[in-house]
Amino acid sequence: GTKRLPQALIVGVKKGGTRAVLEFIRVHPDVRALGTEPHFFDRNYGRGLDWYRSLMPRTLETQITLEKTPSYFVTQEAPRRIFNMSRDTKLIVVVRNPVTRAISDYTQTLSKKPDIPTFEGLSFRNRSLGLVDASWNAIRIGMYALHLESWLRYFPLAQIHFVSGERLITDPAGEMGRVQDFLGIKRFITDQHFYFNKTKGFPCLKKTQSSLLPRCLGKSKGRTHVQIDPEVIDQLREFYRPYNIKFYETVGQDFRWE
C-alpha cells in the first residue's frame, strides 16, 4: 500500500465519543486509521501536507484513510485548510448533549488539574443573573450551530455526517451502520461486534479471530462525572436551547437533548 492524504476526517467534538467511533470503524477491513491525533489543521499546519501524509497508515487503492482530531470542529481555519487539501473530504462530527459534554470536559480537566475552580464558577460570569460564560472552552464547544457555520461556507451538508453520542451508547451498530453508509463502504460492523460493558456504561468491541483490537476504551473513558447542582444544569440547558434548536434545523435531525 501507499501513504495517502485522508479521504475522511473525524473533526469533532471533544468528549462527544470520537475515540469510540475511531476504534469501532477501525475494525472495518476497508478503513485504515491513524491511532493518534495529528492536530495538523489546527497546530501543525505549518509543517505542510507532505509531513501530514507521512503520518498516515499505508492503504490499498480500495481502502479509506481516516484520522481524527476533535479540536478541528472549533478551529476557525480548519474548514478552509481541509477544503484546500481536498474539497471531497468526508467529515464526521460526533455530537452529544452540550451540557453533559461540558461536564465530561470539566471532569477530564479536573483529573489532570485538581486545583481548578468549580464547574459552576467557570460556567457563569454572573450566576444570579444567569449569565453563562460562553468564552470558557467547555461551554463554547457545545455551541454546535455556531461552529457549523464555518464548515458550511466550504462544505455542503451532504459531506458532513453527524453521529449521536447518545445513540452510539444505546445502539452502536445502528450508528456505525450509518457511518459506514456515509463512507460508502459495506456494512461490515454489526451487532455481533459489540457487547455492553456495565461497569464502563458503554459498548465495547468483542475480540474476534481477525481482530486483536482492545475490547474497551482506555481508563480515561467512562469516568464518573462530577456532581453538579441541578439548578446549574437547568440554567445551562436554557442557555443551549436556542443553539440546539438552530443546530437541529440546520442539519435536519433532532438529537432530543431538550
Peptide bond into 13 cis (omega under 30): yes
Q: Residue 225's pLDDT is what?
A: 87
Does the annotation mark 15 as catalytic?
Answer: yes
User: pLDDT-derived band of residue 29, with 50, 70 and 90 as boundaries?
Assistant: very high
Q: How many domains does the chain have?
A: 1
Q: Return the SS3 of 31.
A: strand
Q: Confirm or deny that 96 is annotated as ligand binding.
A: yes
Q: Are 193 and 27 in contact (CB under 8 A)?
A: yes
CATH of the domain at 44: 3.40.50.300
Q: Is residue 258 part of a domain?
A: no
Q: Is 223 within any annotated ligand binding site? A: yes
36 is in an annotated binding site: no
**15 in a known ligand binding site:** yes
Give the containing element (helix H, strand E) for 56: none
Q: For residue range 61-74, list pLDDT tens digits in order.
A: 999 999 999 999 99
Q: Answer yes or no: is 109 within a domain.
A: yes
Outline where 113-229 has alpha helix (H): 119-123, 137-140, 144-152, 165-170, 172-183
Q: Judge whether residue 97 has pLDDT over 60.
A: yes
Report yes or no on 118 lying in a domain: yes
Asked whether residue 239 is assigned to any structural domain, the reply reads yes
Q: What was the pLDDT predicted at 222? A: 66
For residue 123, which of 114, 115, 132 has the smallest C-alpha distance? Answer: 132
79-95 average pLDDT score = 98
Question: Is residue 241 a known part of a binding site?
Answer: no
Q: How far is CA 28 from CA 84, 109, 210, 215, in A?
A: 28, 32, 11, 15
Residue 16 labelled as part of a binding site: yes
pLDDT at 198 over 90: no
Q: Which residues contact 67 (CB under 8 A, 6 or more apart)?
A: 6, 9, 10, 33, 34, 37, 38, 40, 55, 56
Q: Spot the catalytic one: 14, 15, 68, 90.
A: 15
pLDDT at 223: 75
Residue 14 clears pLDDT 90, i.e. is over it: yes
Say whether 59 counts as a known binding-site residue: no
Is 101 annotated in a binding site? The answer is: no
pLDDT score of 207 more than 70: no
Residue 256 lies in a domain: no
- Confidence band, pLDDT 50/70/90 cuts, at residue 211: low
Cell numbers describing residue 75? 478551529
Model confidence pLDDT, tens digit, residues 227-239: 999 999 999 999 9
Instruction: Return the pLDDT at 201.
Output: 82
What percentage of the chain has pLDDT greater than the value 70? 95
pLDDT, mean of residues 90-112: 97
* 215, pLDDT greater than 70: no
> Residue 176: what pLDDT?
97
Q: Is 19 labelled a binding residue?
A: yes
Q: Which CA distances in Å does 2 have to 32, 36, 38, 64, 97?
A: 11, 19, 19, 12, 39
Beta bridge partners of 2: 59
Element at 240 (helix H, strand E): helix 230-251
Average pLDDT, the chain: 94
Q: The domain containing residue 203 runs over which residues?
A: 2-251
pTM above 0.85, yes or no: yes
159 pLDDT exceeds 70? yes
What are the residues whose beta carbons fall under 8 Å from the beta carbon of 151, sequence distance 6 or more?
11, 73, 79, 91, 160
In a domain, 141, yes or no: yes
In a domain, 257, yes or no: no
The SS3 assignment for 241 reads helix
